[in-house]
Structure 1
Amino acid sequence: MHNSTTLPITDIKTKTAINYDRAEKQFIELLTTEDLDRHLDELRLVIDNIEKNIDFAIAAAYQTPSGDDAAHLFLQRILYRINRLKLFWFDSLRSYINEDSLYLQKLRKRIESVWQQWEIAQLDVESFKGIDVKKALHEKVAADIEPPLSEDNLYYRDELTIAGYRRLVAIGSLDGLVEASQISRTLGGVSNEIHAVLTRLLLEEYGGGRLARKHSSYFITMLEKLGMETQPEAYFDLVPWQLLATINHMFVVTERKSHFLRYIGGLLYGELSVPSGLRPYQAAGKRLGLSAEETSYWDIHIKVDELHGKWMLDDAALPLIEKYPQDAWEILLGYEQQKLLGSRSRKAVTQAVKEADKVVI
């Protein structure tokens, strides 16, 4: 569960301790406040506390050498709760009464601008400029499509217990149950070959419009067979900030058309790296004696994403390099950024899985 996080830091003016949990609960209440933007003055004390926690967290997460995991988690949870309003979850319509709130947009930008600067600083952006993008992309794909098994992958394959497997599935359900939804945000506009590739990819992920064959349905089946909750976000409190950051980053690059090339690069890496990334999970399931239904999500992705990676390279990334020669380096940037986000996320998830493995059943 999300542990209470009260930091022993006192604000000079209010003498109130920073408490991320309390601020997040207040924020959740704001989301369903009727006509939020018209009642900001009435809610000033609550809003001031939320913003104070956000400002403190921004400094702790992005403006200190080591960063602070509690601050990262708080900020990514706030961003996630704002971003999820862009997708319809078939829940109460009241959940969306503030989806166009200017205040929420301002708050998102307040966090996102600093976070994205921090993220981009992790990469040598200049190294992607002035090079043969097509050659560099081919080299990266060749290296990443079937990399050597890492220590963590060997752990999943050879040591993972059923408790760890259940933790892995629980954390993965946050994204797995709404998988590929963000692709839909890129499909508007003038029809073209790239648009057609993305549409084909979306249709594959959505089972050609047949719910039973939608990839997220396979995840539901896994959860059901393991006796776990199937409701979206049921295990939200188990999700590390690194995975939330990966999800929130996808909202950044899909919602802003100026980031389209970065999105294509990121999606390319995501699709081509899935089969090698999931094979250790599949192997763990077989070693543990799980049924095909209890590993079905891994199985279907290993099967189809090899083809999806080829589509993204041959039919999307390479044609876009020809169309946007001056900006094509952003495809490399998006590729490497997604690789970095994914690596960081997998390490955090593995740590959480290992902790579950240590629990005596």
Structure 2
Amino acid sequence: MQLPPPRGPLTQWLGDHLNGRLVPSPLVGEYDQPWADDDLQLALWCCYELHYRGFDDVDPAAEWDLDILAFRAELEHPWLEWLCATYWPATVDGKPSDLLRDLIDRDDGPSLAAFLHRHAGLEEFREFVLNRSVYQLKEADPHSFGIPRLDGPAKTALVEIQADEYGGGRPERMHAELFRSTMRWLDLDDSYGRYVPEVPAVTLAISNVMSTFALHRQWTPALLGHLAALEMTSTLPNRRYAAGATRLGAGPVAARYFTEHVEADAVHEQIAAHDLCDGYAEEHPESVAGILFGATCCLGVDNLFAHYLLDNWDTAESAQPMAAS
């Protein structure tokens, strides 16, 4: 993967610095909607990517460049400020598993899965998969940062979930590899990071939430809550995605990514809620608010992504009669 083209002064400075052109860094401003700012989200994504696989045209030593780390901290300030102001729970009383279930039951976000199940055309399904590839091709990697920070039953629970995500020792069953089969069915390039230059800020924000929690030990409870929310809200949507893909002509191999999650995440849901989050909170009672915060961030940013796609598709559909006339 090459360093993506810049989208503004933040990513321009980052690209210049990573390529050896040392100029003063720009000021990071204030943002009412940081999740929607292309320049901010891409700059964050690129800074975080240095801790994953990096870029072919960037020196690996840049991962620990002090100027880059200081720049990333400046970018994270408005991002975390907005996340906390928007999603930090007002009150916390009870076990994480009960609080998580209540949070999910009360979630009233748009059902992107229902639309893809019954109404989406092939190009809409393709756009959905293209956007999701930014995270799915490194699925589970951000949450694996939590493993060395845990101990006892919570660590065992996280390792059990992650082992399934990575295929249980069989490379062809890694969830990222299964997703590649879906991409190939849709004639998409399944190279890692291929569509980062094309996706909107909100798509990058989905990954950036995870990486923010993953790369800061202080946000370990939020990382666990984020994973729990993913697992607890996965089974029904993936059943709908599988049905939608089949309706559009996908065979068993192309739909396997979705069908695999229907079964696996029904088990992971229980492990994540009870063994992981409840287990961690028993050892760290002060962590319950952070766990719920991470879960709320997961649901909230995913809802923003769903709104983005559904609004775009509605706009495109509304414009078609005008274009035809």
Q: TM-score range by the shorter chain?
A: 0.7 to 0.9
Contact 1:163/1:356 (CA < 8 Å) preserved in 2? no
1:120 maps to a residue whose letter is: C
Find the counterpart in structure 1 of residue 86 from structure 2: 122
Correspondence for 1:201: 161
CA–CA separation in structure 1 for the residues paired with 2:261 and 2:13: 39
Instruction: Give 1:294 shift.
Output: 2.2
Gap change, CA 1:86 and 1:355, over 3 Å in 2: farther
Q: How does 1:320-335 map to 2 (within 5 A)?
A: 320-335=280-295
Query: Deviations for 1:241-287, whole angstroms, at most 9, x for unmatched residues?
Result: 12211211111212222221121111111111012222332221122
> AA paired with 2:94?
D
Partners of 1:153 and 1:286 in 2: CA distance: 14
- Confirm or deny that 1:31 pairs with 2:18: yes
Which of 162-171 and 321-330 deviates more? 321-330
Structure 1 residues 310 and 221, CA gap change in structure 2 (3 angstroms): same
**Native 8 Å contact 2:209 2:297 kept in 1:** no
Is residue 32–residue 97 contact of structure 1 (8 Å, CA) maintained in 2?
no
Alignment partner of 2:74 out of 81, 93, 110: 110
Q: Of 35, 51, 58, which residue of structure 2 is paired with 1:86?
A: 51
Match of 1:132 among 84, 87, 94: 94
Deviation digits for residues 220-244 of structure 1, max 9, x if unmatched?
A: 1112222221111212233221221
- Conserved? CA contact 1:164–1:356, under 8 Å: no
The 2-side partners of 1:253 and 1:239 are apart by 22
TM-score, normalization: structure 2? 0.86
Number of positions where the alignment pairs a residue of Structure 1 with one of Structure 2: 315
Deviation readout 1:47-98 (Å, 9 max, x if unpaired): 35xx15xx3xx33x23xxxx4876x111000000000010126x63844231
Q: C-alpha separation between the residues in 1 aligned to 2:242 and 2:312?
A: 19
**1:189-245, CA deviations, whole angstroms, 9 ceiling, x for partnerless residues?**
574221111111111111123211111111111122222211112122332212211
Unaligned runs of 5+ in 1: 1-18, 34-41
Segments of structure 2 that go 5 or more residues without pairing to the other structure are: 1-5
**Given the alignment of the two structures, is residue 239 of structure 1 paired with residue 199 of structure 2, yes or no?**
yes
CA contact (8 A) 1:133 1:332 kept: no
Q: Give matches, 1:148-227, under 5 Å.
A: 150=110, 152-188=112-148, 191-227=151-187
Q: 1:151 to 1:247 in 2, by over 3 A?
A: closer
Q: Distance in 2 between matches of 1:257 and 1:289?
A: 44
CA distance in 2, matches of 1:88, 1:79: 15
Q: More displaced, 174-183 or 327-336?
A: 327-336
d(CA) in 1 for partners of 2:307, 2:240: 14
Shift, 1:25, TM fit: 4.2
Equivalent pair of 2:132/2:203 in contact (CA under 8 Å): no
Deviations 1:286-312 (A, max 9, x none): 221221222221111122111111111
Classify 1:30/1:134 alpha carbon distance in 2 versus 1 (closer, same or farther; 3 Å). Answer: closer
Counterparts in 2 of 1:45-84, with a 5 A limit? 47-48=24-25, 51-52=26-27, 55=28, 58-59=29-30, 61-62=31-32, 67=33, 72-84=37-49
* Cα 1:271/1:135, change in 2 over 3 Å: closer
TM-aligned CA deviation for residue 181 of structure 1: 0.9
For the residues of structure 2 that align with 1:29 and 1:293, how far apart are their CA atoms?
42
Offset of residue 152 of structure 1: 3.8
Task: From the superposition, tell whether residues 161 and 85 of structure 1 become closer, same or farther in structure 2 (CA, over 3 Å).
Answer: same
| Among candidates 292, 302, 307, match of residue 252 of structure 2 | 292
Q: Partner residue of 2:62?
A: 98
Asked if the contact 1:137/1:332 (under 8 Å) is kept, the reply is yes
2:222·2:295 contact (CA, 8 Å) conserved in 1? yes
Instruction: Give the corresponding residue for 1:8.
Output: none
CA positional deviation for 1:325: 2.2
* In structure 1, C-alpha distance between the alignment counterparts of 2:97 and 2:175, rounded to whole Å: 33
Identity of aligned residues (%): 19
Determine whether 1:316 maps to 2:276.
yes
Distance between the aligned counterparts of 1:302 and 1:190, measured in 2?
A: 27
Residues 196 and 24 of structure 1, relative CA distance in 2, 3 Å threshold: same
